[in-house]
Amino acid sequence: MTSTTLAAIPTIKTTRLKLRPFSLADAPEVQRMAGSIKVAQMTATIPHPYPDGAAESWISTHLGQFTDGDAVTWALEELSSGNLIGCISYGVSKTHKRAEMGYWIGEEYWGKGYCTEAAISGIDFCFQHFSLNKITSRHLAHNPASGKVMLKAGMQQEGYLRQDMIRYGQVSDMVIFGLLRSDWERS
């Protein structure tokens, strides 16, 4: 893994991916991929339909959030093609020394292990560069593939919240995962 200075959102290279800052030029592809009903239904927050201008507005928040130590958000780029394939982010709670990981992958890139690869690198970066005790993540129970990403990234299931969210008119359970710094250091 390589990274640059923390003055700007760093770029990290993995075996098959580049985790890099988003640019406004990515907005149309973000809107297309994240706006897919199949992607949106697997997340807790992505709207469908995806509104015009929302991607640009979202991208414009990333540098300030990183500079303030509140979050790091990366575009996931496939090294072999240079294509944007998704996103991974870590929202930081300084008070609780915790970050929450969230991600989405364009449906044409599902099932290739890209999200796990990004999650492992992102977790490593966050524990190395933020004063964190824990990284958490959660997924809708009807998306078990997301839980597999969390397990492969070293996280443990910590909870199951019944009927925790209403998404597109459907009541959904939420599964909670976590990884302590002490467990990450031992791995």
Q: Is the pTM of this model over 0.75?
A: yes
- 156 in a domain, yes or no? no
What's the structural domain count of the chain? 1
- 100 in a domain, yes or no? yes
- 127 in a domain, yes or no? yes
- 180 in a domain, yes or no? no
**pLDDT tens, 19-50?**
999 999 999 999 999 999 999 999 999 999 99
- 55 in a domain, yes or no? yes
**DSSP assignment string, 52-115:** TTHHHHHHTTHHHHHHTTSEEEEEEEETTT--EEEEEEEEEETTTTEEEEEEEE-GGGTTSSHH
- 139 in a domain, yes or no? no
- 153 in a domain, yes or no? no
Task: Provide the residue range defining the domain that includes 102.
Answer: 12-133
Distance CA 83, CA 149 (A): 21
Residue 134: beta bridge partners?
98, 180
Q: Is the pLDDT at 1 greater than 90, yes or no?
A: no
- 44 in a domain, yes or no? yes
- Looking at residue 102, which CATH number applies to its domain? 3.40.630.30
Q: What is the mean pLDDT of residues 167-173?
A: 92
Which amino acid would we find at residue 131?
S
pLDDT for residue 5: 39
Residue 26: both structure tokens together: 């990515």
**pLDDT tens, 60-109?**
999 999 999 999 999 999 999 999 999 999 999 999 999 999 999 999 99
